[in-house]
Structure 1
Amino acid sequence: MAKEAYIITGASKGIGFEWSRQLNEQGHQVIGIARTKPENWPDDNFLAFDLTKLDAIEDIMGQALKWISKDTETIVLVNNAGTIEPIGFAHTNDTAQVSQSIVLNLTAPMLLCGAFIAQLKDRSSHKKIINISSGAGRKAYEGWSAYCAGKAGLDHFSSCLDAENADVKVVSVAPGIIDTGMQEKIRQSEAADFPLLEKFLHYKENGLLSSPEETAAMLMDMTQRPDFNKLPTILDIRNLPAIGEGQLE
């Protein structure tokens, strides 16, 4: 039996997949959630699910938790799924794309967190929630209004959730700039829609992007820190306090 179990959304690619793979190598149980299951999924358990189907989120969480043994010591929810689209100025963005952005980046994680806490209320396991945020939630970027708004909301929701639940530690962490499919979409955008396009092209051309493997390893180390419960709720993976520095909020 694995001592730790992880439920990870957006697990089919990028840091979600790489984190799942590394956890599996450590012997932990991983339950992936994404629209499609990758051929090389490292664990037995995967739920093919579209997170925009909000009415089914409670049920999908119930299915995931059924796979986790009652005596598992630590259960972790990782809200990693998200979208950068639409890229464009707020007054030009498509209504449906804005709505879907908020659903994927904010509403679905909120409901997943609620279902996770409600359905585990009678379990004595240690409970952790990791919400993958972004520096864009803490700084304004022209052309990313929907993404910035969703991630800012996720940060503040995480602070509320952490305050409400003494038995659940919640962290909203910015993972840095990573060489994933999201970065590809950014580089394919138009300068008229995203004025910082050249800067992001420069990141790629000059090898300044972190790899999913490196980032996943850092996130895994953060989650397994002995002082995890004392970490600030709002974090940047590139600027973590040293172990033992205590609560800095």
Structure 2
Amino acid sequence: MKYAIVTGASKGLGEGIARKLLEEQVKVIAVSRSDNEELHEVARKIDGDYHYFRCNLASTEETLAVFQRISETIFQQTTEAVYLINNAGIVDPIETVGDLNDTAILDNVQINLTAPVLISNLIIKQAEKTQIPLTIANVTSGAAERPVHGWSIYCSTKAAINMFTRTTGLELENKASSTKMIAYSPGIMDTDMQTTIRSSTEKAFYDVDKFKEYKEKGMLRSPAIVANALVKLMFEGNLENGKVYYVNDLL
């Protein structure tokens, strides 16, 4: 049997990834602050296997406790492969430096960077102990590679995720591990994050009108299309450890 852990699976890209994995008859473990009843229904209709773990990824203690429980569940003798998709992320705070909220800064760093690092560290350790093939995909952003006015924290955490992916990939290659880690840049999608971005003020985010135009002109991809491309890549691609893959190159 194959297991996939998807963080932020209750909506958006995470929901799309979970749906596609269920269709591929992978046992899905969803991790988020709230559950998605539609995913339970999808699993029932196709005789799939879907489990939900509530977790606030802004809490280090809760994150480590939940993922320890998950790792004890999935790393068994009957497990053929494990997939981990670190998808959960937030764009807030959207504001210029000097006007940033302290709590919002800490939450962004914790959810976008610290949690994926902690989770990957724990899951890789279990995979190497049990010799079960593991593939990790860290969802990143084009904002990791360029400065965006008002997104100093989001750009920084996504840039850090890219470097974490590249460095971990190098380490895995150097020790000839069967584990693969990649990053996946999904482009702009029609998700709640886009709604948050469009509600920004021009003072806080200079490009807000451009993002409103993306929506108005139907330029936002559906999360399902982007999710399907990632799942296909993980299942069919000869993955290069540490590489950042871009959705535009896969469609």
Q: Return the TM-score normalized by structure 1.
A: 0.91
Change (3 A) 1:94 1:120: same
Where do 5+ consecutive residues of structure 1 fail to align?
A: 243-249
Within the candidate set 48, 60, 65, 2:71 is matched to: 65
Aligned partner of 1:108: which letter? A
Residue aligning to 1:247: none
What amino acid sits opposite 1:50 in the alignment?
N
The one-character-per-residue Cα deviations of 1:47-106 (angstroms, maximum 9, x if unpaired) are: 011011102333212221233243322201110001000001112111111111111110
Q: Secondary structure at the match of 1:45?
A: strand
In structure 2, what is the Cα distance between the partners aligned to 1:226 and 1:95? 41
CA distance in 2, matches of 1:198, 1:226: 37
Task: Name which of structure 1's ranges 8-17 and 217-226 shifts more when overlaid on structure 2.
Answer: 217-226
Aligned counterpart in structure 2 of residue 46 of structure 1, from 41, 52, 56? 52
State the alpha-carbon separation in 1 of the partners of residues 241 and 186 from structure 2.
Answer: 15
1:110 equivalent to 2:136? Answer no
Could you report, residue by residue, the CA deviation over 1:151-202 in whole angstroms, capped at 9, with x for unpaired residues?
0000001111112223321101111101000000001111111000111011
Question: Structure 1 residues 138, 21: closer, same or farther in 2, change over 3 A?
Answer: same
Task: Tell me by how many angstroms 1:25 deviates.
Answer: 1.5
Cα RMSD over matched residues?
Answer: 1.6
C-alpha contact 2:127 2:133 (8 A) present in aligned 1:
no
Runs of 4+ in 1 over 4 A off after TM superposition: none
Equivalent residues of 1:71, 1:125 under 8 A apart: no
Alignment of 1:61-100 (within 5 A): 61-68=67-74, 69-100=76-107
CA apart distance, 1:235: 2.1
Task: Provide the C-alpha distance between the structure 1 equivalents of 2:179 and 2:93, rounded to a whole number of angstroms.
Answer: 33
* DSSP-derived class of the 2:67 partner: helix
State the 1:133 CA deviation.
0.3
Which of the residues 163, 166, 169 maps onto 2:180? 169
**Structure with greater helix percent:** 2
Aligned sequence identity (%): 31
* Correspondent of 1:186 among 197, 204, 213: 197
Provide TM-score, normalisation by structure 2: 0.90
Name 2:21's counterpart in structure 1. Answer: 23
CA shift, 1:22, in A, is 1.4
Residue type matched to 1:205 in 2? E
Answer whether contact 2:170 2:241 (CA < 8 A) is retained: no
Structure 2 segments unaligned to the other structure (5+ residues): 41-48
Tell me the distance in 2 between the aligned counterparts of 1:85 and 1:226: 33
Q: Which residue of the partner structure matches residue 211 of structure 2?
A: 200
In 1, Cα distance between equivalents of 2:73 and 2:231: 21
